[in-house]
Amino acid sequence: MSNQRFAVEFDRRVVGIAVRVPGGFMFFASVDEFEQLDGKLFRRGRAIARGLEKVAKAKRARRPAASRRLSPAIS
């Protein structure tokens, strides 16, 4: 079996690679934002996408409300 490697994109940027291994895909993060998924085995490629979305959603929820505003407050 040849090694199969794939670039993994999230939000229009490359965030890591996925390597096909027995049992699924091993994810290797290339950005700190997704380091908690680094080295994790995913059974399917779609599971990687769900994992990335879950991490991103959790990080968005932890940001203070002020940093989520689209425009600055006018005083």
pLDDT digits (tens, 9 = 90+) for 10-23: 999 999 999 999 99
pLDDT band at residue 75 under the 50/70/90 scheme:
very low
Residue 1 has pLDDT above 80, yes or no: no
pTM of the model as a whole: 0.76
What is the identity of the amino acid at 66? A
For residue 3, the model assigns a pLDDT of 76
Classify residue 13: in a domain, yes or no: yes
Classify residue 69: in a domain, yes or no: no
**Closest listed residue to residue 55, CA positions, set 10, 7, 17, 5:** 10
**Domain containing 10: what range?**
5-62
Task: Tokens for 74, please give them.
Answer: 């006018």
Helices (H) and strands (E) in the chain, counts: 2, 4
Classify residue 73: in a domain, yes or no: no
For residue 8, the model assigns a pLDDT of 97
Classify residue 68: in a domain, yes or no: no
Classify residue 75: in a domain, yes or no: no
Number of domains, the chain: 1
Rounded CA-CA distance 16/67 in Å is 26
Angle at 63 between CA 57 and CA 64, to 5 degrees: 145
- For 47-58, how does the pLDDT look when each residue is reduced to its tens digit (9 = 90+)? 999 999 999 999
Classify residue 25: in a domain, yes or no: yes
Rounded CA-CA distance 42/51 in Å is 9
